[in-house]
Amino acid sequence: MKRVISIQSHVVFGCAGNSAAVFPMRRLGVEVWPVNTVQFSNHTQYSQGWQGMVMPAGHIGQLMAGLTDIGVLGQCDALLSGYLGSAAQGEEILAAVARLKACNPRALYFCDPVMGHPDKGCIVAPGVAEFFKDRALACADMLAPNLLELERLTGREIHNVPEAVAACQQLRARGARLVLVKHLGRAGFGHDRFEMLLVCDEGAFHISRPLYPFARQPIGVGDLLSATMLANLLAGYEPVVAFERTNASVDAVLAQTWLVNAYELQLVAAQHEMAQPRVRIRATRLALTCAA
């Protein structure tokens, strides 16, 4: 049994942050210890708004101290971080990573650097984007940015797949073993598929899945992606196989969400296909010469 501390947002209704990550990881056989950075009524992209609060300063540190006190922290295999309610929470997460690795040197830090997307209504607190670029990169074993976050982390504009690979290699040079680009968007090969990129020791790999014409794009897909990828890696799958299984699991959830014309991800309805994905699309190794 593998164990993960998942530090990210929580919504009472719907699927975002831990509400999109905890159940899938558990269905994939991982014991999850959730820590919430915020607790909101719903995700922030509802036009009616949301209610709730950012967890107070010191909250994450207190919970980690409690886990240390009862002697269980050394049993944990990874820490996954996502949406932060404040830049100060980022420093608490890095302290948590240090505390975890002191107890278990083999533990992994999987960083999903949620930097916000104002055009889509996703807002992060001041200083959060800078925290990820200036502080978290040096500590992360694995990173899962989208295209916009990849550009911000590397300080470069990315127009195509070779440039995205080069940006990922730039992050790997900073210490990350594995970089998963959750959405290539305009830098992908085409616009009729959803494309992702994996860069790891084995090379650079590309995969795609269908685009569903949602009237409103579901929120939390990135959180689901990161959680599923980490769960597959902890299950012992090689990175490329984990990448393929993750793609298939997320596609199963999105297909079910589209089928019932829902705005929120249908995790429960799609749980069997998500936990036992049918891999129909294989990753393609990229033979690219990329400028540094």
Binding residues, by number, are 9, 44-45, 112, 144, 149, 182, 223
In terms of phi and psi (left: phi > 0; alpha: psi -120 to 50; beta: otherwise), the region of 175 is: left
Distance CA 173, CA 290 (A): 14
| Residue 256, CA distances (Å) to 153, 207, 268 in order | 33, 20, 10
Residues tagged in the binding site annotation for ATP: 112, 144, 149, 182
